[in-house]
Amino acid sequence: MKASGAEDGGRPAGSPAPPPPSLEWKFSQVFGERMAGEEVHEVDIISAIEFDKSGDHLATGDRGGRVVLFERTDVTNHGLRKDLEKQDYPISRHPEFRYKTEFQSHEPEFDYLKSLEIEEKINKIKWCQPANHALFLLSTNDKTIKYWKVKERKVKKISEMNVDASIAEQNGNIASSSVNCPGGYLPNGGCSERPYNHLNNELSFPPGRLPSLRLPMVTSQDTNPIARCRRIYAHAHDYHINSISNNSDGETFISADDLRINLWNLEISNQSFNIVDVKPANMEDLTEVITSAEFHPTHCNMLAYSSSKGSIRLIDLRQSALCDNHSKMFEERDTPGSRSFFTEIIASISDIKFAKDERHILSRDYMTLKLWDINMESGPVATFQVHEYLRPKLCDLYENDSIFDKFDCCQSGDGLRVATGSYSNLFRVFGCMTGSNEATTLEASKNPMRQQVQTPSRPARSLSTLTRVVRRGSESPAVDANGNTYDFTTKLLHLAWHPTENLIACAAMNSLYMYYA
């Protein structure tokens, strides 16, 4: 062992490791690519993306209520792959996926009591624990959550029939050539127009003995995945469901709407428990709503939810049955004199994710991406500027409703980077290690680096010896990274990061793009 203070490669022992170099992203695949000038139907626009825990399956939901599943194909022997990873052998091929199956998850409905149409659009998809070689997932629209089972079923085929192959091809099958009898049937089942020693065109009795019969054989053909709805969790939300999240216990999940969070058991569809209720006695006193909620990845008693005021509340289910009182609350205080008409609108958090290290929470509001330390409630430890250049255009964004767009966020499996979407089908990737200047802009196209920009960060201001707050990203006003005007009609709202590899799947309208590094 080296003595304390010794240098290792020019770096003093005990000093923080340097940030990793920026990744070079490359195009991997696209599903449902839109041709130039091709019209996109509303029902085909992707509205949800989710990898399963293994990263071998990917699910997407669209506004037409359909769920499409993809499976990984570049690795056939998972055991061998894991062995090679342990031995640090490079794996030459990048992750590749193929279409697996799709099914209609939700249909449009009408609430006659409230005279309200319920869209079939899939708001969220969450994978559940697989069992017995079957996949399980939850999907939800505005009102109803469904629990799906997807399993491979073998298609059976009958072969070894007493039919000449050439004749069988002409007639299509054995049944069509043996049951048709224009002259009618005899009481014993024979045909009146055929001699006693001739059953049909394909089968003859040799003189003086019976024919040799072969029993039909049932053989299996290709397997087809079949989706079946196991449970329907309905009539528990008066407002639109914005989040669902699985618990680490594998038995329960939560669903959140604007004012309430309900706790469900996967096996019980007719009962749920209300654990958070922010609805005031008088709706005129309502000041904020719930925008997103997620369970802690390992602690089954902890969950976090965000609000339209830009705060995140951490609650502990062990404290009380109704968790109206939070354990911790994370929010960034406004700078005096900085408030405006748009302050609360752009502060609204659209998505939160627990980080892979289980200590941080990633949040996305309209302007920024923020990383919070669970042990520090005073403010985020890192802020990444995504839409700062749009600040002078907030009035225009309010007029065309773009200011209410809700962008997803995600983090890499190693916890070193975060990503989120933007306009003009662009998405941003930031390095979140201390000292990292990585801020890459990519376009959802076959040439992702066309819009690449590396923006140097402003000097990080130190809060303490352990906590550093950094702000990075493009801050040039009213223009994008390349000086071009943004197209607010093409927005990249949904994306997901592979749980173990540097692979990002993102949705651009009806197209699913994948990139690897």
The CATH number of residue 379's host domain is 2.130.10.10
pLDDT of residue 37: 77
Q: What is the pLDDT of residue 470?
A: 40
Domain annotation covers residue 384? yes
Does 394 have pLDDT greater than 60? yes
Q: Which domain, by its residues, includes 439? A: 334-346+354-453+484-516
Those residues with Cβ within 8 angstroms of residue 302's Cβ, 6 or more apart along the chain or in another chain: 295, 296, 314, 315, 316, 317
The whole-number average pLDDT for the span 452-464 is: 36
Structural domain contains residue 469: no
Does 180 reside within a domain? no
Lowest-pLDDT range of 61-65, 92-96, 296-300, 509-513:
92-96
- 508 located within any domain: yes
Q: Once rounded to an integer, what is the mean pLDDT over residues 282-288? A: 92
Is the CB of residue 368 less than 8 Å from the CB of residue 420? Answer: no
Distance of alpha carbon 510 from the chain centroid: 15
Q: Does residue 339 sit within a domain?
A: yes
The residues near 445 (Cβ < 8 Å, ≥ 6 apart) are 27, 425, 513
Q: Which segment of 72-81, 105-114, 186-195 scores lowest on mean pLDDT? A: 186-195
Interval 337-365 mean pLDDT = 91
Q: Grade residue 489 by pLDDT with cuts at 50, 70 and 90.
A: confident
More confident residue, 14 or 296: 296
Closest CA to 29 of 8, 65, 60: 60
Tokens read off for 53: 């825990």
116, containing H or E segment: strand 116-118
Establish if 238 belongs to a structural domain. no
Confidence of residue 294 (pLDDT cuts 50, 70, 90): very high
Establish if 310 belongs to a structural domain. Answer: no
Residue 382 lies in a domain: yes
Alpha helices in 321-475 (DSSP H): 343-347, 394-399
The structure's pTM equals: 0.78
Q: What distance in Å separates the CA atoms of residue 12 and residue 317, rounded to the nearest whole number? A: 44
Contact 74, 96 (CB under 8 A): yes
pLDDT at 43 exceeding the cut of 50: yes
Average confidence (pLDDT) over 367-375: 95
Number of domains in the chain: 1
